[in-house]
């Protein structure tokens, strides 16, 4: 079977995580479109499985949650019932970020309803091990989801922003309404008023729009298939959590301080094939090795590298995994969940 060369795979991955569209990646690297999508599919499954297994038992103090809008194939108002069954329409990415280390603890793809909110909060709770302070926006489905998931064992507050009257003039058609104030509401426990904020998660939303062409507004780079959308989100968060630089995420975030920010820069990657790479490219080589060293497919039984307690890389055998490892709650008939 033909296999793409290592340098080509690294170039494709580097382009994708820097916000380049699929077609632009093909033009830049000379790799066929179907090959790029196959690489994205295999790598997305691996990244989702890695996140699901590694980001567990996290000790955090403050978490901020939000949801960001995108669409697949067409906006919700323009899709038919048949297209909706294939995953077309609006899709929301729910994210939970550690306000101290900026680690994305959990992410879920789905609609903006109560079922997705419950699934998202249950996933957040399964990854933390202590009482947390949680802040969300005023989306009403959060309140019931948080109560059903955490009960009284949480310090929870909502931050509701107040906006002025929107301007319908053509010049400001795509501009947001002006925020004229905000109010807070404490729903559970005793959250610290100084840390009732959603600023970090909203800034993370901006990074997502800049880092994934599929999320960029007013372009034709939007996702055409829900599966590819989920794969790109998984790859993006793998890149964000485990490689990308953050001023607040130091190399000592895994030193027993209670916070967990996995950093590849202070970890030794074994293998002579990595010896000559610049430190900034280590993650790309690591990601490429997930594909090169393992036989990955939509349903795969793979062993791939992960960080162990001795700060080296070792291989762990994972059971059969599928695309559904990417935490998606969209529509029951979506082929992504098949």
Give the pTM.
Answer: 0.76
d(CA 251, CA 293): 27
Is pLDDT above 90 for 207?
Answer: yes
Q: Tell me the CA distances in angstroms from 2 to 5, 13, 35, 285, one per residue in order.
A: 9, 19, 11, 20
pLDDT score of 245: 52
pLDDT at residue 3 in the model: 77
How far apart are the C-alpha atoms of 133 and 99, rounded to whole Å? 10
Sign, Cα dihedral of 86, 91, 96, 102: positive
SS3 131: coil
Which pLDDT band, with edges at 50, 70 and 90, does 289 fall under?
low
User: In this predicted structure, what is the pLDDT of residue 293?
Assistant: 44
Per-residue pLDDT averaged across 175-204, rounded? 89
- 317 band by pLDDT with thresholds 50, 70 and 90: very low
* Mean pLDDT, range 98-121, rounded to an integer: 94
Alpha helices in the chain (DSSP H): 6-17, 22-29, 33-54, 81-85, 114-127, 141-150, 199-211, 226-242, 282-292
Integer angstrom CA distances of residue 30 from 12, 27, 36, 231? 9, 5, 10, 21
- pLDDT at 305 exceeding the cut of 90: no
Q: What is the mean pLDDT of the chain?
A: 75
> What are 234's two structure tokens?
């998984």
pLDDT for residue 306 is more than 90: no
Neighbours of 40 (CB within 10 A): 21
Radius of gyration from C-alpha coordinates of the chain: 20
Mean pLDDT of 50-65: 90
Better-predicted residue by pLDDT, 295 or 303: 295
Q: How do residues 26-43 score in pLDDT, each as one tens digit?
A: 999 999 999 999 989 888
pLDDT at residue 20 greater than cutoff 90: yes
Give the model's pLDDT for residue 260: 41
Written as six digits, the tokens of 33 are 């479109």
Nearest alpha carbon to residue 72 among 220, 227, 223? 223
Mean pLDDT across 193-200? 94
Question: Are residues 89 and 71 in contact, defined by beta-carbon separation less than 8 angstroms?
Answer: yes
Q: Which residue is listed with tokens 């001795």?
A: 310
Whether 141 shows a pLDDT value over 90: the answer reads: yes
């Amino acid at each position: 079977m033909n296999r793409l060369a290592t340098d080509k795979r690294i170039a494709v991955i580097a382009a994708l995580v820097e916000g380049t569209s699929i077609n632009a990646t093909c033009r830049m690297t000379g790799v066929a479109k179907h090959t790029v999508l196959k690489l994205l599919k295999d790598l997305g499954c691996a990244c989702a499985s890695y996140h699901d297994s590694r980001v567990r038992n996290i000790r955090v103090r403050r978490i901020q949650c939000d949801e960001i809008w995108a669409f697949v194939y067409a906006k919700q108002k323009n899709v038919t019932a048949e297209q909706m069954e294939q995953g077309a329409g609006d899709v929301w990415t729910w994210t939970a970020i550690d306000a101290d280390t900026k680690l994305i603890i959990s992410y879920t793809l789905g609609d903006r309803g109560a079922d997705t909110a419950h699934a998202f909060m249950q996933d957040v709770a399964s990854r933390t091990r202590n009482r947390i302070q949680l802040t969300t926006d005023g989306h009403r489905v959060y309140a019931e989801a948080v109560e059903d998931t955490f009960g009284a064992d949480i310090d929870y507050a909502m931050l509701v922003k107040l906006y002025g009257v929107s301007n319908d003039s053509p010049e400001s058609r795509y501009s947001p309404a002006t925020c004229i104030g905000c109010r807070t509401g404490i729903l559970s426990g005793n959250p610290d008023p100084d840390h009732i904020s959603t600023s970090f998660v909203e800034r993370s939303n901006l990074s997502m729009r800049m880092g994934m062409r599929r999320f960029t507004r007013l372009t034709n780079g939007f996702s055409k298939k829900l599966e590819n959308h989920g794969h790109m989100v998984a790859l993006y968060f793998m890149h964000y959590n485990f490689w990308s630089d953050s001023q607040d995420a130091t190399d000592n975030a895994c030193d027993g301080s209670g916070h967990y920010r996995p950093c590849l820069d202070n970890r030794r990657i074994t293998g002579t094939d990595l010896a000559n790479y610049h430190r900034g490219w280590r993650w790309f080589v690591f990601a490429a090795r997930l594909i090169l060293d393992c036989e990955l497919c939509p349903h795969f039984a793979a062993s791939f590298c992960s960080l162990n307690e001795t700060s080296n890389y070792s291989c762990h055998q994972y059971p059969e995994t599928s695309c559904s490892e990417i935490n998606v709650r969209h529509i029951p008939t979506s082929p992504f969940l098949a």
